């Protein structure tokens, strides 16, 4: 029994002497993530139609489907990845996008669209990597049928561009 207790005490001692992670080590790994981020093409993840305006990054309620009533607004939640940060001085960075859109038929015929539909920009003391877009589209006058909403993001801090599609249906 004494031997088991001694082994237990030795094990506890080994746990206590394990080297702890430091902020400097976290910063070093974060710099490597930023380097990879900068080399990655602009992309968009977690693209969903939402049933209400999101409260923040990752805080959304996805719609049950992509079927909308005539005149109902299409609200999109999307998380861009690998955008550029511009140093604007005073220890701050700016990032954002010019957003274009197209409404198309499923076979690609363009029905409507607009360049610079939205301009989204943020300024922060951090190089934020948790950033989401909430885009609201009113599709007035569209009859029942299947459509595709295409958004194109133009990065403010670089020449990177990303496009994503969202099929949807208008039904009575």
- Taking phi first (over 0 means left), then psi (-120 to 50 degrees means alpha), and beta for anything else, what does residue 34 get? alpha
- Chunked mean pLDDT (size 10), the chain, 172 residues: 51 58 93 95 98 93 97 97 97 97 97 96 96 95 95 98 98 91
Looking at residue 9, what is its pLDDT?
A: 46
Looking at residue 172, what is its pLDDT?
A: 86
pTM of the predicted structure, to 2 decimals? 0.85
For the residues of 91-103, what is the DSSP string, one character each? TEEEEEEEEEEEE
- Taking phi first (over 0 means left), then psi (-120 to 50 degrees means alpha), and beta for anything else, what does residue 142 get? beta
Looking at residue 168, what is its pLDDT?
A: 98
In tens, the pLDDT along 113-155 reads 999 999 999 999 999 999 999 999 999 989 999 999 999 999 9
As its CATH architecture, domain 41-170 has: Sandwich (2.60)
* Contact partners, residue 71, CB within 8 Å, separation at least 6: 138, 140
Query: Which long-range contacts link 71-74 to residues 24+ away (Cβ below 8 Å)?
Result: 71/138, 71/140, 73/136, 73/137, 73/138, 74/49, 74/136, 74/137, 74/138, 74/139, 74/149, 74/166, 74/168
Looking at residue 10, what is its pLDDT?
A: 46
Domain range annotation of the chain: 41-170
């Amino acid at each position: 029994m004494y031997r088991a207790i001694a082994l237990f005490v030795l094990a506890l001692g080994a746990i206590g002497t394990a080297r702890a992670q430091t902020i400097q080590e976290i910063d070093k790994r974060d710099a490597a993530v930023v380097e990879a981020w900068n080399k990655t093409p602009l992309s968009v993840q977690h693209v969903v139609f939402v049933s209400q305006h999101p409260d923040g990054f990752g805080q959304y309620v996805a719609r049950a489907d992509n079927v909308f009533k005539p005149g109902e607004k299409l609200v999109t939640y999307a998380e861009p990845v690998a955008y550029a940060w511009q140093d604007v001085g005073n220890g701050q960075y700016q990032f954002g996008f010019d957003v274009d859109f197209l409404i198309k038929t499923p076979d690609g015929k363009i029905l409507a669209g607009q360049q610079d539909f939205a301009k989204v920009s943020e300024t922060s003391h951090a190089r934020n990597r948790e950033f989401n877009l909430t885009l609201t589209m009113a599709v007035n006058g569209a009859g029942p049928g299947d459509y595709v909403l295409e958004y194109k993001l133009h990065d403010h801090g670089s020449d990177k561009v990303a496009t994503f599609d969202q099929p949807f249906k208008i039904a009575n």
